[in-house]
Structure 1
Amino acid sequence: MSHCAACFKEERPLASIAIELHDADPDEAARRVDEYSDLYAEVHAGPPYSWGPEYADLFRRRFETQRQQEGFALVEARTAGTLIGMGYGVGLVPTTPWWQNLLGPLPPDVTEERPGRTWAMAELMVTEHWRRLHLAEAIHDRLLDGRPEERATITVLPAAAAAQAAVLKWGWQKLGQKRNPLPGAPVFDVLVKALGR
């Protein structure tokens, strides 16, 4: 379940609010996993997700693995020390399951991975109170800025209309759809974005 949650049409200027963006390394991320898991549960509790606590547990387990992977990068947003948003991702390896469980075939030249080809944005989320500040976009841009990979990929729930609009505005292109191999898992749109070198 890697995706963009709480991306949105943002209206208020971020510069007028005291918000700090911070890059967290894998060790810092390990110490803060409780905060990240709580944020995940909060962001995904309401529509269009309405996911229960079992999804936060899955997030935690997945995160513990991903933070140790090649290319791990995480940006968190805080105000007065309180976590209000975060995004992170990892590099894809040739044996990645990312391109499995597609609902339709994609050409091999799209799904074939090699070291350094693709960086997957695993999560991008902001608490409801802090939306419409261009905060998700700021986290997104900081994560992608200067990445050495050729492209990035992300998944977005089709019913998350604001998230869909945001990622398309930010230059992502839809490739297809996939279902994650979890009981009752929803279908996600799979998108890619070319990265500047």
Structure 2
Amino acid sequence: MLCRHDAAGMRAHREALLTVYEEVYADELDAPFFAPDRFWERLESYAQWPGFSLVTLHDDDLIGYSLGYRLPPRSAWWRGFLGDVEPQELVEDGERTFAVTQLMVLPARQRQGHGRALHDALLRRRPERRATLLVKPDNVPARTAYLSWGWELFGQVRPFEDAPVYDSLMLTSMPDQGGERGFQGDRGGEPGGIFG
């Protein structure tokens, strides 16, 4: 079951979200940037921005999730950008770009279509004209999947001093803009009605 959450819903699911994160990033948790507390600080920061959305996928337990927010004017998202693009492509107006900040699925449940379902659910019916995300260049399965879903290489970004350099990808054609079938709403951690 796919569920959409706002910031309060994200906080209500803190332990489950961190459990999935710790399993997906088990090999990197010793690095300060990937420490669970540091990860949660980033999520709290994302949740404060306009257009924040979290989509979770459950059977009995949480399988995975995706989340993001709309880049505000004067966004720091492009700080540390390495690439050759027109300068206006890096100037946000608060309406143009949705940033996908996380998309993860438990290792045992990967390669079963769950990542694509979360990806499409997060981006479906977004009002922004484009979306961006960061992926490690050596994360071949994720990078290959994104490119096959229509994303294109835009440049590279080192978002924080202690972060790795990521490939910056851009999507200019959002997924199907139809209704959100199969969604269970969730606001503030409380179940809501079926969307659309």
Q: 2:57 aligns with which of 77, 96, 101?
A: 77
Structure 1: distance between partners of 2:94 and 2:173 = 15
Give the TM-score normalised by structure 2. Answer: 0.83
Query: Which residue matches 2:114?
Result: 135
Taking only the aligned residue pairs, the percentage that are identical comes to 35
Name segments (4+ residues, structure 1) moved above 4 Å: none
Q: CA deviation at 1:51?
A: 3.3
The amino acid that maps onto 1:142 is A
The answer on whether the counterparts of 1:70 and 1:91 sit within 8 Å (CA) in structure 2 is yes
Separation in 1 of the partners of 2:4 and 2:133? 20
- Tell whether 2:74 aligns with 1:95: yes
**What amino acid is aligned across from residue 144 of structure 1 in structure 2?**
L
1:163 is the counterpart of 2:142: yes
C-alpha spacing 1:158/1:53, structure 2 compared with 1 (3 Å): closer
Match of 1:119 in 2: 98
Question: Aligned-pair distance for 1:105?
Answer: 4.2
* Structure 1 counterpart of 2:13, from 12, 29, 32: 32
Residue correspondences, number: 173
**Aligned match of 1:60:** 40
Preserved CA contact (<8 Å) 1:86 1:124: yes
State yes or no: 1:21 paired with 2:16.
no
Q: How far 1:106 sits from its partner (Å)?
A: 2.7
CA distance in structure 1 between the aligned counterparts of 2:8 and 2:150, rounded to whole angstroms: 31
Give the secondary-structure state (helix, strand or coil) at the position aligned to 1:113.
Answer: coil
Distance in 1 between the 2:31 and 2:169 partners? 27
Where 2:82 maps in the other structure, the secondary structure is coil
Partner-residue secondary structure (3-state), 2:127: coil
Cα deviation digits, residues 102-121 of structure 1 (max 9, x gap):
12343112111102100000
Deviations 1:84-114 (A, max 9, x none): 1000000001111111101234311211110
- Counterparts of 2:159 and 2:132 in 1: how far apart (Å)? 15
CA contact (8 A) 2:80 2:159 kept: yes
The answer to whether the Cα contact below 8 Å between 2:150 and 2:173 also exists between their aligned partners in 1 is no
User: In 2, Cα distance between the equivalents of 1:26 and 1:180?
Assistant: 22
Structure 1: runs of 5+ lacking an equivalent: 1-19
Farther off after superposition, 54-63 or 117-126? 54-63
The residue type paired with residue 23 of structure 2 is E
- The one-letter amino acid of 2:39's match is F
Q: Please provide the CA RMSD for this pair.
A: 1.5
Which of 123, 126, 129 is residue 144 of structure 1 equivalent to? 123
Q: What is residue 181 of structure 2 aligned with on the other side?
A: none
What amino acid sits opposite 1:169 in the alignment?
S
